[in-house]
Each structure stands twice: as C-alpha cells, then as structure tokens.
Structure 1
Amino acid sequence: MAGHRIFTTSFASVYPLYVAKAERKGHTKDEVDQVITWLTGYDDAAIERVLSDGTDFETFFAEAPAMHPNASLITGLICGIRVEEIEDPLMQRVRQLDKLVDEVAKGKKMTSILRTSA
C-alpha cells in the first residue's frame, strides 16, 4: 500500500471526523484524545500542534513520541480488513487508530480499549 493517499492526508482533516463519530454516539473529544495519546504518546499540546501545523499521517506517526508497546494487541476488522494482518506498518498504524476510535464510539470500556487490566 505504499503511497496510499491517506499517508499524505493531513491529520487535521481526519481528526474532526474521529471526534464527530464519537460524539454522534454520545462520547467525547477527550476520549478520542485519550486513545490518540495512548497509541502515539502525543500529549494534548502536541495534538494541538499537529492539528495546527497540517501534519500528514505519515509524519504524524513518524514523529510520534512513543508508539504504545501494546498496540499489537489491537485486533479485529476495520473497513473489512483484519488490523493485525496489514503488512504495511504505516497503514497498520492508521487502521489501529481507526479501530480505537471505533471502539470509543461503540462505548467499550476504556480499560478494554487501552488494552489494560485495570
């Protein structure tokens, strides 16, 4: 999937869609930010910077402070494709984030979404 257009799409153009999806189902922007922070290590200020800079997805993930070591535990279908079977590492990260936002929108418990045992 090298060169897929999502890689050059600005994160800022997709972020409002993530938030809108969560809010349509009664969830919040803060929950979306929480899963972004968990997956990438970006804090709230860094997320705001990325949004204002027009950073694309490729750069967003390349400059992520710390991809969570449990990201590999994100499994399941997104857009009809199993997240864990995606071969392109960048596309897999994009789809992992999509999956986390879907789980927020579906109302899963945050401990389950963040793959923790608390």
Structure 2
Amino acid sequence: MSAPTFVASADPGRVVLHGDVDAFDIDDLLAVLVRCSDEHRLDLLVDLSEVTFLPSLVIGALARARADATRNGTSVTLVVRERTVPHRVLQVCGIPFETAAATVEGAS
C-alpha cells in the first residue's frame, strides 16, 4: 500500500484533512475515521476546509462513516470552507455540512 495523498491531523473526536483525498486513499481515510471516533462510539468532526480534491468514492466513504456513526448513536460532522471543492461537492451531493466560519463562531 502506498502512502496516502492527503495529510491528516487526527485526535479523538477531530480529524483535519489537507490536500488531495484520492480514491486510492479510502482505506487509509476510513482507518483514520474509525480510530478517531473510537469505532464510531464518539462524535467526530471532520474538517475538510483544506482539501483540494474530493472524488465521489471518497464522498461515499464519508457518507458511510456518517451512517455507521448514526447506527451507533453518534455523529460525524463535516466542516468545509465556502467556495472550496469540498463545499461544492457536498452541496451538489446533498450531504449535510457546516461551514468553517459557523463552526468557529459556535465554539466561542
């Protein structure tokens, strides 16, 4: 297995992704999401604000993580910056997300 094309900063309950998240990265991405959500037993925030490439297979993996979390009574919140690739893709796909500005304001 090759190294993923994306960079992840990951802590329990929070994953921040940077760069291209390629379709070949799905297994690595799912492993990070499972680890940081304690196998979907912990709410998870996934910050996609710095992602530059997000293909449909990765969207499917994120949707699967959201569904797994819901089955376990937790949530996966996707955060994007406006006018970015993830913002446009999630909007077109109809997948719920929060904008980075709204999340920062809500944390104050």
TM-score class normalised by the smaller sequence: under 0.3
- State the structure with more CA Rg: 1
Give the TM-score taking structure 2 as reference length: 0.27
Q: Which has the higher strand share?
A: 2
Larger relative contact order, structure 1 or 2 (CA cutoff 8 Å, min sep 6): 1
Give the TM-score taking structure 1 as reference length: 0.26
